[in-house]
Amino acid sequence: MKIYLLSESPSGYGLFEGHGSDEIGQNTEAVRSSVSDLTRFGRVVQLTAFHPFQSALDALNQINAVSEGYMSDELRSFLELNLPKVKEGKKPKFSLGVSEPKIGSCIFEATKIPCQSNEFVHELLRGVRQHFDRFIKDLKPGDLEKAQLGLAHSYSRAKVKFNVNRVDNMVIQAIFMLDTLDKDINSFAMRVREWYSWHFPELVKIVNDNYLYAKVSKIIVDKSKLSEEHIPMLTEALSDEDKAREVVEAGKASMGQDLSPVDLINVQTFAQRVMDLADYRKKLYDYLVTKMSDIAPNLAALIGEMVGARLISHAGSLTNLAKCPSSTLQILGAEKALFRALKTRGNTPKYGLIFHSSFIGRASAKNKGRIARFLANKCSIASRIDCFADNSTTAFGEKLREQVEERLDFYDKGVAPRKNVDVMKEVLENLEKKDEGEKTVNASEKKKKRKTEEKEEEKEEEKSKKKKKKSKAVEREELTATDNGHSKKKKKTKSQDDE
């Protein structure tokens, strides 16, 4: 009775034939002793066929099938090709050894190849696994490990639902790029102005904007050739006919020196470069906006893309931002002032990067600190939703923004804001209505919503407790900055203890 062995590896499927099975019989002990020695084992088991996987995607499909215990089409064709044919009605004279019975029964149902997966097969497969790379001649040492690494990564990514679009690294890089670009464009633009002013000094005073200056200098080129014909083009660039006329007039009476054609060409190319960079900056900004709406839509809806991206890049990643307490989020970016204040026992800063969102500017001086704290709390909620929720929607972010607006109104006029519990309920109801309207409700989605509801309810309880404390503080009107500093210190030590 011949026994074949199916061995699945990350590089491909291998089929082995167990020879000395008649001598060994079905004795596991004997197999074990033979496994340790390659030459002995080589006589027991020999390679029949090896089918390498065509691509990484192919390998991923195969491992998904194998781990579930199903037989994929590729496996089926491999087996049918390399095993002796099973004749109808006759009992086959061989059997296929597999690692587990589930895949064995699948194979048997489809192809009538009898499978077994007992201890004897198990021992043989151990030997195959141990000496696998020696059997397959094509595999160089180290190939198998690399294949394992690559396949494991793609398999695990599929398991954790790694979504390439939701990688926050791009936002961090984009924000750095934007800052660098701004600096560079500015220095280049200043250079263009200085350079061209050698030729046409009056233009600097007429055209103030850097980008427009570069454009205009490209149109004019040589001021001696400036005439009435250029006015329409200049008007188009400057969008102001009076200014265009001014430029032409100034050109006629200009004090600047003449430049040779070669010099003028140089200035032209440089001006073109500046314009290209400025256009690229615009595109990069749009890219950043789209990326932010992909990875952190709620944060972007609440405080805007730029501030949100800066927060994420300062914290290191979206997960880090979500992990840190809201008091940290409040003073992210003002670390120097914070530690100086802590060391000298002064007043700690009230806001860091958060300051650049529009809300802080709109609050009166007395309420800036309170709004900063409130905003930081809401930003924390938004970033946590963005980081850990499965589906991305801006519903929460918009409602949180409304809440901040309401609080601003409260400080201005005394209009009582809605309770957080009610607002969150509204959001969840809206989300459910939207889903029902689209008729895409299925059981798992409902469960997810219940889970997020439970999560939100837990957060709501915490937030409603904090809100009660806040409203008490407002009535007192004695909350000074040092008080804020002290409570921040307490919160900080708490977070240290937690860590």
Task: Provide the binding-site residues for another protein, judged by CB under 8 A.
Answer: 8-10, 32, 35-36, 62-63, 66-69, 99-100, 122, 126, 129-130, 132, 144-145, 148-149, 151-153, 155-157, 159-162, 314-317, 319-321, 323-324, 328, 332, 335, 339, 342-343, 345, 489, 492-493, 495-497, 499
Phi-psi region at 7: left, alpha or beta (left = phi > 0; alpha = psi -120 to 50): beta
For residue 63, the minimal CB distance to another protein (Å) is 5
Q: Give me the amino acid identity at 360.
A: I
Smaller CB separation from another protein, 165 or 496: 496
Of 346, 344, 320, nearest to 332 (Cα)? 320
Smaller CB distance to another protein: residue 155 or 410? 155
Cα–Cα distance for residue pair 283/296, rounded to 1 Å: 20
Instruction: Please tell me the distance from the alpha carbon of residue 185 to that of residue 278, in angstroms, as a whole number.
Output: 7
Extract the tokens encoding 358.
């529009």
Residue whose CB is less far from another protein, 73 or 100: 100
Q: With respect to another protein, which residue has the nearer C-beta, 119 or 240?
A: 119
Nearest residue (CB) to another protein, 110 versus 324 = 324
Tally of residues, the chain = 499
Q: Considering beta carbons, is residue 392 or 495 the nearer one to another protein? A: 495
Q: Specify the amino acid at residue 421.
A: V
Rounded to a whole number of angstroms, the minimum distance from the CB of residue 344 to another protein is: 9
Q: How far is the CB of 45 from another protein (least distance, A)?
A: 15
> Shortest distance, CB of residue 316 to another protein, whole angstroms?
3
User: From start to end of 420-482, where are the E strands?
Assistant: none
Largest CA distance in the chain: 110
The least distance separating another protein from the CB of residue 15, rounded to whole angstroms, comes to 15
For residue 498, the minimal CB distance to another protein (Å) is 8
Alpha carbon distance 399, 406 (integer Å): 10
Pick between residue 143 and residue 445 the one whose CB is nearest to another protein. 143
Q: How far is the CB of 362 from another protein (least distance, A)?
A: 28
**Measured between alpha carbons, how far is 154 from 63 in angstroms, rounded to an integer?**
10
**Whole-number Cα distances in Å, 190 to 193, 216, 250:** 5, 15, 21
Say if residues 403 and 420 touch (Cβ distance below 8 Å).
Answer: yes
- Residues facing residue 45 across a β-bridge: 18
Shortest separation between residue 148's beta carbon and another protein, angstroms = 5
CB 399 within 8 A of CB 356: no
State which residue, 156 or 180, has the beta carbon closest to another protein: 156
Tokens representing residue 62 in the block:
């195969």
Q: How far is the CB of 165 from another protein (least distance, A)?
A: 15
Neighbours of 142 (CB within 10 A): 9
Provide, rounded to whole angstroms, the least separation between the CB of residue 175 and another protein. 14
Closest CB to another protein among residues 103, 234:
103
Q: How far apart are the first and last CA of the chain?
A: 63
Four-residue CA torsion sign, 225, 231, 237, 242: positive
Distance separating alpha carbons of residues 21 and 110, to the nearest angstrom = 27
Provide the 3-class DSSP secondary structure of residue 15.
strand
Cβ closer to another protein: 43 or 126?
A: 126
CB 216 within 8 A of CB 230: no
